[in-house]
Chain A
Amino acid sequence: MEDNRNQYRIIRMLTGGVTPALLAAALLGYALNRFGQLDPAAQAAGICRELIAGTTEGRQALFGSCWAAPLPVLFYLPFSWLLPEPLAGPAAFWLSWFFVFWSVRESVKSAGHYLFRIIMAQIAIAAVAVLALNQEVLQIDTALTVGLLLLCASSLSDWVACRRLRDVVSSAAACAFLALCGFSVLGVACISAVLLPIAAAGHRETRRRFQAWLLLGWLPLVYMLGVWMLLNRLILGDALFFLRSLRFLVSETRLFMPSLALPAAVMLPALALTWRLDSRAEKPGAGVVAASATLLSFALMLIVYSKVFAWFGISWADTALYACALSVMIVTVARLRQPLYRSCLSLVIIVWLSGTWFKRDEQTGDDDVRVKVIGEVETYVQARTPYGRVFALGYTGLDLLRGYEGSLMVPNLDLHIGSLRMDYKGQDLYVLIPNPEDRVRSESVFWKYPDIYDLGADRLLYAGTFGTWRLFQVVSAPTQEQLDEWRRLRN
């Protein structure tokens, strides 16, 4: 008995601590070697900088977009606060990937497998991250999404198999956190939460307690979304501010919203199987076959989601969804009761296939581009006025100003030209607008002023192009003090 316990402790330490730590470190080493400068929390770092400074922009940025979701930012904040910039990124990277490998252990362990199968699955996921050759896969928000999605999917399948209270709780909690990881997985989180009580309706014993599963399964997600909306109302004056970008991103919004529920159809056969097996069972629980079917359907649902997003032109959601789908497949294979060599072979095939799934990117040298743009804009503005102020718009602006020490340029999340003129009376104001491509299209400035990049807006006069950014001057009448000063200078 004591021997078994000791053996269990050793395996737990190995699979839940040692291998995740080593694999995360190895991945970190690979990423540093491959991409030179590692930037695993590009957007989060900019937001954290403002949050630590206690600015309104930081608060707005934390909650203001479903595409730059709060969880990765809150995760990165302690690192950004406690560690200097060159260390914060790698430390956050290591911990986020440690979490992924720990989640793999939790997901495989519940099927009653230990050591080899867990380590195999962990290595397979590390291999996928390496073969992807894609910086986005290595971002902390992708890692957090993958980890939470694994917990969500495996808990749901455990709930299907055994009907343990802990499974409904962990799945519901994972769903709620997943919803805070961004819009690309919000639909998945909602469908998983919906499935929790429905999956339990097959057996007469658990069917009677539908309201309990409903409350436990849905409440965390509903609450999280409720608080997110409340904070949007309080900080940005609009409860749905974080979702408004969808109208600009997708031309057919009426078609897009129902399409988000479409992938749920993939889960229906697994659900039917669960009900059938469950209704025949003496005790609640549909068993391992239904659990495996649920996991596989889950992976399929993620792929369908990526296709739905791609149809509507939101292609940047692909990477996280593919990474999640592959991870769920790997966990499904590792959980299956089959000879070890067959599991290994299946995993090798999945990893090999994954090499073709991701768009490959090379070293970008983002930092150099940022410094160049900032330098050029500063030179341009300072040559024209000593009272200049440049507002770099949106999350992209926050990212641009990372590490910026000057006072000329400030970030702005929620553009109100009238308010800027009032707040910065007497100064010469400029707005710096990013190119609305890919993810940048989701910035609030583009759903407020759809043509701003090409045509400017009321009181905005084109000043110049710097890299992919465009600078516009805010036209306003000079104040009496400015007129007096100019007169004095002229005389």
Chain B
Amino acid sequence: MTNPTILQEKHPNGSSVPLASVSSIDPLELANKRPDWSASQPVTAAQKKTVLLLCIALLLAVVLAPLKTACLFIALCTLFYTTSTLYKFAVIRASISPSAILSFSEQQIADQEPREWPVFSILVPMYKEPETLSQMVNALSELDYPNDKKDVQFLLEEDDALTLDAAQAMAMPASFRVTVIPQSFPRTKPKACNIGLSLAKGEYLVIYDAEDLPEKDQLKKAVMAFEVSAPDVVCVQSRLNYYNSGHNIITRWFTAEYSAWFDLQLPGLAALGAVIPLGGTSNHFKTRILQALMGWDAYNVTEDCDLGVRLGRAGYRTRMLETTTWEEACCDLRFWIRQRTRWQKGYIQTWFVHMRRPLKLLKELGVVNFFHYQMLIGGVTFSVLINPFFWAMALVWFIFRPAGVAALFPGPVFAAGAFCLFLGNFVFVYINLLGCCKRKKDSLMWWSLLTPVYWVMMSYSGWRAFIQFFRDPFVWEKTQHGLSGKA
């Protein structure tokens, strides 16, 4: 154990500046070389014109034929809800397919030895989180992988003296190092990761968040997963879950949601060969391919989701890996809303970026994956935005039963609406229950029945994200960790 190598030098005036090797790296390579693939310009002029024209057309329709417009809008939304419900059915059903998730038993891992494991780069971006540093160093040290094959980089911001000092003071294994990220705009996690990617020495690469606790055999499983998969599989995504699920009701709902997303829906999508919106951490890559794709988009606040789509566009596939990284669920409502706002804003960014040339996207992804993309990236955002209107309408109908609401639902639309009411809402709650059951977190299942309240929080964040997308597209609302102790 030694003090870590820190990629920075002392400037003659005494201040810390990055090493030339770091400062020469272009973390905005994607935005500079392929601006059409970057969210550096959130909405293009053509998109602005299209949105404006649509708004004018909508306004005219509302003025000229308000009832017909409302009926048409409701009919389209009902069609979307119905499609979305059936889509969820299909995805969950696919999740039971043997190809949904790659799993390796302890025996299979043990049978690999003795063997030469490849160098595995691990990136840990951190910002003002000195308290989680020692936990992270311990977790990475304990990973069941040869120490000399681990290439760990802690990516610390230049102005984060607290964490830098803590890192300098800490004894770390020789293969651990600290890379200081120069101050520049935008200050986002993907920008830091791009610098880490350029300096990565490993054949494979993974990202962990500061508070992550990956399962010990995760790296070996990832290597084995790449080895048994086809060459076009360039990313394997581990499952994420929370160690503080019992802290309060928010963490319980959050855990239920994550269990459903990572244990059911993403495996289902993988089995269907769909574009996968990657989780923010514990995604393992083939380093060379990721470098060729110019890493992450530094301007996108859900760079992971965007990268998942770009992998799909480039003809690569992502698979799910049966191993879990334990994280800390945000337990404070204010921070939860900020985190969710960022995620939803990122989804909106990603949708606009890739929809700049829809036909090209269709050609690159294919019809089926294009549909997946619309349902996963556009659909999720669209539903959180329109949900409050339909809840309000249902509530008004339940309580006052005015004739006006019934007039908005002509025959077939009423039936489809009844189908969504009968089934749609229930499917989404039931999927969460299922996720908890699969995770063997039975005590959370009763709490999952209250998920509709969680949807209200999601819709609030969705609208906040929508407004923020136009006002402050690049603002990164950082999640505060360490608010609840480990369970």
Identify the A interface with B (CB < 8 A): 50-55, 58-59, 62, 70, 74, 77-78, 81, 165-166, 169, 209, 211-212, 215-216, 219-220, 223-224, 227, 231, 234
User: B442 near A54 (CB under 8 angstroms)?
Assistant: no
Residues of chain B with a CB closer than 8 A to A220's CB? 426, 430
Residues of chain A with a CB closer than 8 A to B66's CB? none
Give which listed residue, A52, A216, A219, A234, contacts B411 with CB less than 8 A.
A52
- Minimum CB–CB distance from A229 to chain B (whole Å) comes to 12
- If A52-B411, A53-B411, A54-B410 touch, whether A74 touches B418 (CB-CB below 8 Å) is yes
User: B412 near A77 (CB under 8 angstroms)?
Assistant: yes
Q: Which of B28-36, B344-352, B431-439 contacts A (4 or more CB under 8 A)?
A: B431-439
Residues of chain B with a CB closer than 8 A to A166's CB? 96
Q: How far is the CA of A53 from the CA of B410 in the complex (A)?
A: 7
Residues of chain B with a CB closer than 8 A to A216's CB? 430, 433-434, 437
Residues of chain B with a CB closer than 8 A to A53's CB? 411
Residues of chain B with a CB closer than 8 A to A77's CB? 412, 415
User: A165 near B438 (CB under 8 angstroms)?
Assistant: yes
Q: How far is the CA of A53 from the CA of B412 in the complex (A)?
A: 9
Which 5 residue pairs spanning A and B have beta carbons closest together?
A52-B411, A54-B411, A212-B442, A51-B411, A54-B410
User: B412 near A219 (CB under 8 angstroms)?
Assistant: no
Residues of chain A with a CB closer than 8 A to B440's CB? 209
Residues of chain B with a CB closer than 8 A to A231's CB? 418
Give which listed residue, A55, A62, A223, contacts B415 with CB less than 8 A.
A62
| A-B contacts, 15 listed (Cβ < 8 Å) | A54-B414, A58-B411, A70-B418, A74-B415, A78-B412, A165-B437, A165-B438, A211-B445, A212-B437, A212-B445, A219-B430, A220-B430, A223-B426, A227-B421, A234-B401
Residue of A nearest to B409 (CB): A54
Interface centre among A54, A165, A220, A231 (most CB of B within 10 A): A54
The secondary-structure label for the interface of chain B is: helix
Residues of chain B with a CB closer than 8 A to A224's CB? 422
Residues of chain B with a CB closer than 8 A to A51's CB? 411-412, 414-415
Residues of chain A with a CB closer than 8 A to B446's CB? 211, 215
- Minimum CB–CB distance from B432 to chain A (whole Å) comes to 11
Chain B positions 126 through 159: 1 when the CB is less than 8 Å from some CB of chain A, otherwise 0: 0000000000000000000000000000000000
Interface centre among B398, B426, B438 (most CB of A within 10 A): B426
Q: How far is the CA of A12 from the CA of B442 in the complex (A)?
A: 35
Whether a CB of chain A sits under 8 angstroms from the CB of B419 is yes
Q: How far is the CA of A272 from the CA of B96 in the complex (A)?
A: 30
Residues of chain B with a CB closer than 8 A to A78's CB? 412
Q: How far is the CA of A21 from the CA of B426 in the complex (A)?
A: 31
Give which listed residue, B409, B414, B433, contacts A215 with CB less than 8 A.
B433
Chain B positions 255 through 274: 1 when the CB is less than 8 Å from some CB of chain A, otherwise 0: 00000000000000000000
Residue of B nearest to A58 (CB): B411
Q: How far is the CA of A70 from the CA of B410 in the complex (A)?
A: 18
Residue of B nearest to A180 (CB): B422
Residues of chain B with a CB closer than 8 A to A169's CB? 434
Q: How far is the CA of A234 from the CA of B440 in the complex (A)?
A: 38
Residues of chain B with a CB closer than 8 A to A215's CB? 433, 437, 445-446
